Structures are given as structure tokens and as C-alpha cells.
Amino acid sequence: MIWGASDNPVCQPTTMMDELPTLEGLTFDVGAADFNRDSAIRSLQEFGAIKLRRVFKSEDVDFLSEATGECLQSMSLAGSFGYYRKDHVKKLVDPFLIGGQAVDVCLSEYLIDLVETYMQSECVLSEAFIKEDIPTKYIYFPIHSDYAPGTSRRSGSHITMTSESLKHPVAVGAAL
């Protein structure tokens, strides 16, 4: 799943979900003979989210799944291999520490090119992590927007989000 951060309604908390197409209408099979990359990018531009299927080889996904499962079994202590926690409801693993196909997935030239076409600029990978959410009986992380007018992504930055800048893509997130 890929989503863009902008003022697009898909990227914002909303109760008007009936106005949006179904996920099926936003799903594109990269491996299909009739796959149209431009159509996928247009949907990302129009709706703020798309789902891409068969971007990666099944062996790469299997490797990543198996390696992640192993990492999530043990906490990283004193530099040992395993997961870490930022808080009590999630376990995190750095995919670059897994290596191999995990790095290939994170640095997929195909996805980078697609995102740069959508963003109409070069892009920087700002974070990559594998996350396991631990179920809670309460809403731990509600629907939210990382970008709003006045947002500055880091202290000391001279770049502040404006209503005008949010009319264009400012970030892209992806989940496997």
C-alpha cells in the first residue's frame, strides 16, 4: 500500500469514506500484462492511496517474513540481534540489519522511480522499519495526519508546511 501526504481526503481523517473508491478500485497488479503505471500514478494523485500487488518476488517476501519472524522473537540486548521498543504496544526491527532481500525491498528502484514520478522530484528515504503492533483494548494510535499547516518536521528547520505546500505531495509512505 502506498499513500501520499497532502490535503487529499484519503490522507486526512474523514467521515466521508463513501465518496472514495473501494480498495479494489485502487489496487494495481504490477505483474499483470495490462498493468498501466501511469494509471496507478494518476490514482495516487487523485485519491492519495493505491495498493500495488506483485511488486516483489515471492522469494523476497518469504525471506523478509521469515527473517522478521526470527527477529521478533528476541529483544535486542547489549547489541544482540532482535527487536527494540519505542513504547509498550509495538516491536520494531531495522530491515537494514536483516540485510539481503530486506535491503532490496527497502531500496526498490521500481518503487523509488514510481514515487519520484508521483512527487515530481528526487526523494529521500527518511525511515524504514518493520513493526509488529501488539493488540490493545483501547485506541492507541488514532487516525491522524503527520502534516498540517505550521508543521515543521524537525527543530531548527526553516521549512514549515503551509496550506499551499499541502496542495502538492510532500511525503509518501509504504507498507508491505
**Calpha distance 146→171 (Å, rounded):** 10
Q: Taking all residues of the chain, what is their mean pLDDT, rounded to a whole number? A: 84
Q: Which residues does 54 contact at the CB level (< 8 Å), separation at least 6?
A: 29, 30, 31, 32
Q: Residue 132: enclosing H or E segment and its boundaries?
A: strand 130-133
Tell me the three cell numbers of residue 35: 498493468
Domain ranges of the chain: 1-55, 57-140
pLDDT tens-place string over residues 32-61: 999 999 999 999 998 888 999 999 999 999
Chain centre to alpha carbon of residue 113: 15
Q: Is the dihedral of CA 58, 60, 61, 65 positive or negative?
A: positive
Task: Report the predicted TM-score, pTM, of the whole model to 2 decimal places.
Answer: 0.76
**Calpha distance 46→9 (Å, rounded):** 10
Q: Give me the DSSP letters along 58-119.
A: HHHHHHHHHHHHHHTTSB--TT-SSBEEEETTEEEE-HHHH-THHHHHHT-HHHHHHHHHHH
pLDDT tens-place string over residues 53-102: 999 999 999 999 999 999 999 999 888 888 989 888 899 999 999 998 99
